[in-house]
Amino acid sequence: MGQQKTAPESGTRESERRRTILRAAIDVFARKGYHGCRIADVAKEAGVAYGLVYHYFKNKDELLETVFETGWSGFIARARAVAESEGPLVEKVRRIADVAFEAYRVDPRAVKVLILEIARSPAGARINRQTAFVDVIRLSAQMFTRAKESGELRPDVDPLLASALLFGSIEMGLTAFVVGLADARDTVMLERAKAQIADSFLHGVLLSGASSKAEPTKHAPTPHELPRGEEPQDAAPLKREKAAPRARTPKRG
């Protein structure tokens, strides 16, 4: 009886330790990069003995692989749910962008590792990145194919290329925050970036008039935008033209 009761508890402790070490690895990879990370750094960050890290992961390559598998599988699952759901293409594209930017908002260090240490660094060479990225592109290509069949997509747009362009735009948008070009703490900027990526992409692939199905994205004006309370320069002449007929038709006695 006693052994049956402690076995699940032991398994839970093992899982918790593994998650703690993995979380520590994400933080160290994000802070120092793959090449600057040492197993001793991960152990110190996790608050565990140096040798315990090797009990769960044989080296930092396996740590990096596990970070990728954990983070990427979660993103793929959420993106698949959106791509295979019902609804117009406009809504799906916005939701996929939302999935990516929400992941960054919740765990910016993990997304930084995925983009800089795995997607673009030789450190991720052992990871089957090609298969992983091809899977997500093909997944959304099916979404664009269905949209093309339903008349939402321009007839000259290739669904596979559209999918690659969508995820490429999302990745580069996130990269701007990851490398510090944009302030990751600015939630307004995050929302604006997400909306701008979706809007720019949709304007290029949708049939004329199809984008009217989505509500326009609201965002704070930038310094280059016209203030909301200010009228365009040609507004006043238009008003004067409307008032002019009254002046040209005087009353006759």
Q: What is the DSSP string of 82-111?
A: HHTSSS-HHHHHHHHHHHHHHHHHH-HHHH
Give pLDDT, residue 32: 93
Gap between the Cα atoms of 121 and 104, Å rounded? 19
Name the pTM for this structure.
Answer: 0.73
Report phi then psi at 18, rounded to 5: -60, -45
In angstroms, the first-to-last Cα distance of the chain is 113
Could you tell me the domains of the chain?
Answer: 13-57 (1.10.10.60), 61-210 (1.10.357.10)
Burial of residue 142 (CB within 10 Å: 0-12, 13-18, 19+) is: middle
206 bridge partner residues: 153
Q: Are 142 and 156 in contact (CB under 8 A)?
A: no
pLDDT of amino acid 117 = 83
CA atoms within 13 Å, Cβ hemisphere of 4: 1
What's the token pair of residue 182?
């944009």
User: Token pair 């740590």 is at which residue?
Assistant: 63
pLDDT at 23: 95
Chunked into runs of 10 residues, the chain (253 residues) has average pLDDT values of 54 88 95 92 94 92 88 89 94 96 93 83 61 84 94 93 94 92 88 94 79 43 43 39 47 49
Owner of token pair 């009353």:
251
- Match 């933080």 to its residue by tokens: 27
Separation CA 133–CA 217 (nearest Å): 29
